[in-house]
Each structure stands twice: as structure tokens, then as C-alpha cells.
Amino acid sequence: MASEKMTEENNVRDQINILKEQLNYHAHRYYLLDDPEIPDAEYDRLFRRLETLEQQYPDLATLDSPTQRVGGQILEHFKQVAHQIPMLSLSNAFSEQEIFDFAQRIDDLLEHENFNIVAEPKLDGLAISLRYEQGILVQAATRGDGQTGEDVTQNVRTIQSVPLKLINNDYPQVLEVRGEIFMPKGGFKKLNEIQLKNGDKAFANPRNAAAGSLRQLDSRVTASRPLAMYCYALGLVEGEHADNPIKTTHSDILQQLQHWGLSVSPEIKRLENCQQCIVYYQNIMQRRSDLPYEIDGVVFKVDSIAQQQKAGFISRAPRWAIAYKFPAEEAITRLMGIDVQVGRTGALTPVARLKPVFVGGVTVTNATLHNQDEIDRKDIRIGDTVIVRRAGDVIPEVVGPVLSRRPENTAPYILPDHCPVCGSVAERVDGEAKSRCTGGLYCPAQRKEAIKHFASRKAMDIDGLGDKLVEQLVEAGLIHDVSNLYQLSLKQISALERMGPKSAENLIQAIENSKLTTLSRFIYALGIREVGEATALALANYFKTLTAIQLATEEELQEVADVGPIVAHHIVTFFAQTHNQEVLTKLLGAGIHWPKIFIKDKDALPLAGKTVVLTGSLAVMARNEAKAKLIELGAKVSSSVSKKTALVIAGEKAGSKLTKAQELGIEIMDEAQMLELFNQG
């Protein structure tokens, strides 16, 4: 027995030593280098693990353990400052239940007195204590370990939202104010752009950037950094002004601080009960990504100072306050593998297959890796321990590997040079981020995606035709291209697995209903590369008819505000493909139509196949309108006169193009003749 116990203790000792070593390594990166390698949540997890082991085996707890040091480290560069009133930390809550428990505890401690709560966003920055003597800022100190901090007065003086002198002369002789220094998101982004441009390392997050900026030995560097401060507590106060003594509630004190020129978060609210606290939390969480600064939760504080005193403290945290933290947005997990997905346009997208991990409030198993360059830049390898980030509703992403945990024998990942679905060659065009399967619509993956897109809500809006059903239909060989949708029979659909007769009928009806659409939806539904909803609408409005769009040259297409040379090229390429023309004919033949649009046999149009040049200025009709009309009548509109030109329309002050047309003996019309032609058309 005794030896078993010893073995167990030795194991725990090893575990504790490993944890200490890891925590010291990460604390160094975090506090001294401002360059953390793992997410905070992971650091906290290691820390809690060590705490638990030390509690279970008190003999193994040593004074050099990171658990024996609360808060940050004290840097040697800066003068030390003893906080006359310690700077507190906050207890954390992670669930509604813990907030109800907190309220219950307060209720007990206050012996059922009524109490109000002040709710504040929990800023993710650095806690700072400012000291004003006779209204003048004389000292600014970091929190340090809560008892002793670093003197960063020179640096804090450069922050615009920290007044060097208080306003309204009714302040106390000595006023210590505590708050958070942070870097707004916009400033952080710009700073990192500058860092990268100068060949310096980007900061991992705004808090690290704020910490790094504040610990500069040269305050000119701090001055160039976009820092701000919000105040949320008092420290030492001496010699209150008779006209304006310190208020008796937290909410009034915050107003008083504003009266003296200090900044306070505009989001702070006074609340009356627990339910309102939960609503406040949810509301702030929803707006989190829209706030101009990072927050990692909300803080609830008892409003009355007398009640705060009655509730008291446990070790270094007040009993009268609690931080309700948001779920961590970053976590670490293992990259099990990389799948390659094939999109509608053949683009190959590497997708990380992750060991399931709870992050940002959900369990994440996949995350996009975007493309080869991203994988190379981040040096992500299969087998790595990776940081996964899920912020708000944004799709999860892999931030990068934790290099200190990289296993041996990993290799850089290279995307396959063949399509994993159809085996066609995958090509990467110069200047493009993604490589693409060259299989086109031979590739079942591309076909499925094209059909899903065609049926989607903003395209043909075929109700009930979801992704799974499209996959079933393609796999059953019932549809090869989008036009086959309109040939499906009730019998074929009913025969599919998990398809009831009523659903089959509804689907047939939905397909039928989709036949009446708009020109812009139809163009969007075709899935032409780079032609999104807005471009489709712009094309429809400009050209008015499908025929005009089909016949437009790249040059003409670029007349549309939304269309540049690349998009124009994609459109022309799309319509030039025989396969696409066939599908279009079948779709229109199936009865797809839209109001106020006429479809003519393009060969029968009066200007079919003729190249027309417009020159000089038109007096009656807008130039673009004339151009659209010409296209509608089947013309190809060009900007230069050549032997191929069939007709030149010469407005007023026509110059060299008219002369050239006359030399070449090309038919010439004036504006009146053109209008006559349009009337006939």
C-alpha cells in the first residue's frame, strides 16, 4: 500500500512540475513578451489543474508555484508603486445559475435588504490606478500583483482620454481612480498593419497591444499608440471637497468621476434584479462585435457603497461584485486531418477536421483553412495542436499552431493537384488564391453545388429543395444539370429515400412555381463566376433582356457600374460555352419566364450579327439607353470603326470615326434615323 501511495505521489509531482514549467513558459510569453502562444482559456485551464492538484496534495505545493503569485509580474524597468489600497480582482461566473447564486449570496449577506446592481461591460485591457493630487495627475501605476504595480506615469500621460488635470474645482485633495486602459479595435487593426509594414511582429490581440504599448521605455512610442481609458472604481480618497463629497453609490460615483473630466463607459446601467442582469448580459453579448473595443464579459456590482462594505471581501476579490464572462472565443484542440471541399466554381477549399472542441458557445468540429497560402503562412500541419477561434456568428477559423506542442514527424501540408471528387487536374491560375478542379460540370461536386445555388432562396427560390435532396437527386442520376429539375416527375421524386408523397407533391409544385421569376434572379441563379445578386440586378437593369446580356461584348458589359474586366470576361465565357447555351435553351423551353421581358429569336432581330458604332453626341436619347436598345435589337456595339463595322450612328460633332466610316463606305445614320429604327424595332 505504502509504495503504491508513493508511486501515485511521484506521478502527481511529475504532473505538477510539468504544469509549473508550462505555466512559467506561457506566463513569460504573456507578461514579459506580450506575445502569448496559447489562448487565455487554455492558460486558465492549466492553472486550475495545478491549483486542484496542489489542493489535493498540499505537501506538494511549493512557494515557487505560479499559483502563489496573483496577477501579473512586476517589471524591473519601471519604478515600483505600492498600492495603498490593493487593486482587486473579480470572481468569475460562467452561467446564469452562478449569477442567481451570486444574487442569493448578496441577499443573505445583506440580510434581505433591497439592493441595486450596476452592470458594466468587462473591458479586456489593463487595470490602472491613477493618482490625482490637487487635481493634477501625479502617478499612474499598473495593477501588478494587486499590492505593487509599475510606475507608468510618463506613458499614461500620453493617453488622450486620461485628463492631466481634473476639471470643476470640487475634487478631493487626493483622488485615486481605477479603470482599464485598452486599445480600440480600429486602432489595433491599424497598428498591426503598421507593425507588419515595418517588418515588426503583429500583436496577438488588442489587450497585448495595449500592454506592450504601455510598457514602452520611450513614451513617444506610447504616444503613437491608440490607447484609451474608462474608469470604474475609486482607490484612496483624501480631503474631500465640502461642496462635493464622494457619493454613496457606485453609479453616482461614476457620474461624479465624469463631472471631474474622467471617462466612463457609456454602456453602464443601474439594474434592479437578477433577470435584468441576464438581459443586460445577453444584449451586450449580441452587440459585442459592434462595440469599438474588446470586452470579455460583463461585471455586476452592488450599487450602494455601504452595502458593498457590509458584503466585504474574500481574499483579493470583493463579494459584492462578479464578472460574468462570455464563452471563450479561442480554444486549443488537435488538427486530425484536412478535407478538401469542391465548390460550385471548382474552387478547392481545405477544411480542418478538428477534435471536437467547445469554443464561442458551440462545439466546433470543422474550420475553413481558406487556401494553400493561408496554410503556408500559418504553417499548419496535420497532427498539430491548433488554436481555434469562433467569434460571434463568424465561421470558426484556425488561428495557428502551438509550435511548442508540435509532434515529431509532421510535414507541411500541400493541397492535392487533382480534384478529390472527380480526379480531374486542379489548376491554380496566377494571381488567384485558390486552385480549381478543371472538371467543370463533369465533376459531380461542382454539379451539386451549381444545382444547390440555382435552387437557393435568392436565386430560383425552390422551396423544399435543400442541399441533402440535391445530393440525393444527383446521386440517383435523376439530374445532371439544372434544367433537369423541370423534367422531374412525381413518381421519380416519391421514389427517393425518406420522401413522403406529400413532400414530393410540394416539391413538384415549388419547382413549377419557380418558373415565374425575375431576370435578375435568373441571371444570379445561373451561377456565373463573380456574378452575385447585386451584379445580376445591375445587369438586368442595364440590359433589360437576357438576349442583350448574352450578346454583350466584354467592353459593353463593363459599361455596367458593377462590372469590371474580370467579371465581364467570366460572363462572356459563360455564354460562349455550348453546354451553357444548351442548358439555357432547355430552361427557357421548360417555361421559365419573367414579366416585361420579351425573348426573340436572336437571328431574327433587325440588327442581328451587325457591329454598330455610336459616335458624336446624341441630343434626344441618352447614350447608354441608345446602346442598350441597339443591343436589344441584336447589334454588337463597338467603340472603334473597322471593316467589320456594319453601321455608324453619328450624332452631333462626330469626328474622326465618322470620317473613317465615310472612307470605308459604311452605312451611316443620324440620331433621327436611329430613333426611327428603334420605333420600327
Catalytic residue numbers, as ranges: 122
Does position 130 bind ligand 9MJ by CB under 6 A?
no
Task: Using alpha carbons, list the distances in angstroms from residue 426 to 107, 187, 329, 346, 437.
Answer: 66, 40, 35, 9, 4
Applying CB under 6 A, does 180 fall inside the site for ligand 9MJ? yes
Nearer Cβ to ligand 9MJ (271/441):
271
Q: How far is the CB of 88 from ligand 9MJ (least distance, A)?
A: 4
* C-beta closer to ligand 9MJ: residue 91 or 349: 91
> From the list 90, 181, 607, 654, which residue makes contact with ligand 9MJ (rule: CB under 6 A)?
90
| Burial of residue 552, with CB atoms counted within 10 A of its CB: 0-12 exposed, 13-18 middle, 19 or more buried | buried
Q: Rank residues 306 and 395 by Cβ distance to ligand 9MJ and give the closer one.
A: 306
Residues 140, 162 contacting (CB under 8 angstroms): yes
Between residues 123 and 364, which has the closer beta carbon with respect to ligand 9MJ? 123
> In whole angstroms, how close is the CB of 301 to ligand 9MJ at the nearest point?
7
**Of residues 150 and 180, the one with the C-beta less far from ligand 9MJ:** 180
Residues 484-543 that bind ligand 9MJ (CB under 6 A): none
* Rounded least distance, CB 125 to ligand 9MJ, Å: 7
Residue from 122, 390, 434, 610 that binds ligand 9MJ (CB under 6 A)?
122
Rounded to whole angstroms, the Cα distance separating 266 from 612 reads 63
Binder among 37, 120, 397, 481 for ligand 9MJ (CB under 6 A): 120
Site for ligand 9MJ in 319-358 (CB under 6 A): 321
At its nearest, how many Å lie between ligand 9MJ and the CB of residue 263?
12
Minimum distance of ligand 9MJ from residue 4's CB (angstroms): 46
Q: Does 176 bind ligand 9MJ (CB under 6 A)?
A: no
Nearer CB in complex with ligand 9MJ: 119/455: 119
User: How would you class 639 by CB atoms within 10 Å of its CB: exposed for 0-12, middle for 13-18, buried for 19 or more?
Assistant: exposed
Least distance from ligand 9MJ to the Cβ atom of residue 92, Å: 12
**Which residue, 123 or 335, has its beta carbon nearer to ligand 9MJ?**
123
Distance CA 77, CA 79 (A): 7
**Cell, residue 124:** 479586456
Q: Are the C-beta atoms of 410 and 382 separated by less than 8 Å?
A: yes
Q: 180 or 330: whose CB is closer to ligand 9MJ?
A: 180
Beta pairing class for 92-93 and 321-325: parallel
Closest approach of Cβ 287 to ligand 9MJ, in Å?
16
CA angle centred on 18, ends 12 and 19, rounded to 5° = 90
Q: How far is CA 135 from the centre of its chain?
A: 43
**136, amino acid identity:** I
Q: What are phi and psi of 58, to 5 degrees?
A: -55, -25
Stretch in the footprint of ligand 9MJ (CB under 6 A) among 61-69, 115-123, 358-366, 626-634: 115-123
Taking the complex as a whole, how short is the minimal distance between the CB of residue 229 and ligand 9MJ, in angstroms?
11
* Residue 226 in grid coordinates: 491608440
The cell for 623 is: 447614350
User: Which H or E run includes 298?
Assistant: strand 295-302
For residues 586 and 580, what is the distance between their CA atoms, to the nearest angstrom? 10
Classified as helix, coil or strand, 585 is helix
Number of residues located near ligand 9MJ, criterion CB under 6 A: 10
Residue 182, C-beta contacts closer than 8 angstroms, at least 6 positions apart: 123, 124, 125, 126, 206, 207, 210, 227, 228, 229, 230, 293, 294
What's the CA gap between 438 and 354, in Å, rounded?
A: 29
20 vs 122 by CB, closer to ligand 9MJ: 122
How many C-beta atoms lie closer than 10 Å to residue 532's C-beta?
12
Q: How far is the CB of 506 from ligand 9MJ (least distance, A)?
A: 53
Which among 119-127, 459-467, 505-513, 579-587 is the span making contact with ligand 9MJ, rule CB under 6 A? 119-127
Query: Alpha-carbon dihedral of residues 115, 118, 122, 126, nearest 10 degrees?
Result: -100
d(CA 356, CA 553): 50
Q: Are 370 and 339 in contact (CB under 8 A)?
A: no
For residue 88, state whether it binds ligand 9MJ (rule: CB under 6 A).
yes
Closer CB to ligand 9MJ, 299 or 674, in the complex: 299
CA-to-CA distance for 367 and 365, rounded, in angstroms? 7
Q: Is 233 in the site for ligand 9MJ (CB under 6 A)?
A: yes
Q: Which stretch binds ligand 9MJ (CB under 6 A): 116-124, 278-286, 449-457, 538-546?
A: 116-124
Site for ligand 9MJ in 370-429 (CB under 6 A): none
Which of these segments, 118-126, 423-431, 457-465, 592-600, binds ligand 9MJ (CB under 6 A)?
Answer: 118-126
Outline where 427-564 has alpha helix (H): 444-455, 467-475, 490-494, 501-513, 519-525, 533-543, 546-551, 554-557
Which of these segments, 117-125, 149-157, 361-369, 631-639, binds ligand 9MJ (CB under 6 A)? 117-125
Q: Does 203 bind ligand 9MJ (CB under 6 A)?
A: no
Pairing of strands 611-615, 636-638: parallel
In the complex with ligand 9MJ, the residue whose CB is nearer, 90 or 626, is 90
Instruction: Identify residue 80 by its one-letter amino acid code.
Output: Q
Among 38, 103, 119, 123, interactor with ligand 9MJ by CB under 6 A: 123
Report the DSSP pairing between strands 313-314 and 330-342.
Answer: unpaired
Which one of 120-128, 368-376, 585-593, 636-644 is the stretch in contact with ligand 9MJ (CB under 6 A)?
Answer: 120-128
Q: List the one residue from 110, 175, 299, 443 that touches ligand 9MJ (CB under 6 A).
A: 299
Q: Residue 72 and residue 145: Cα distance in Å, rounded? A: 5
Decide: is 291 part of the binding site for ligand 9MJ (CB under 6 A).
no
Cell 469562433 belongs to residue: 390
Smallest distance, Å, CB 178 to ligand 9MJ? Answer: 7
In the set 78, 232, 320, 524, which binds ligand 9MJ (CB under 6 A)? 232
Q: How far is the CB of 107 from ligand 9MJ (least distance, A)?
A: 21
> Which residues have C-beta within 8 Å of that of residue 34, sequence separation ≥ 6?
203, 208, 209, 211, 212, 215
Closer of 71 and 135 to ligand 9MJ (Cβ): 71
CA pair distance 333, 222, nearest whole angstrom: 36
Residues 302-321 that bind ligand 9MJ (CB under 6 A): 321
Q: Which residues of the shown chain bind ligand 9MJ in the complex (CB under 6 A)?
A: 88, 90, 120, 122-123, 180, 232-233, 299, 321
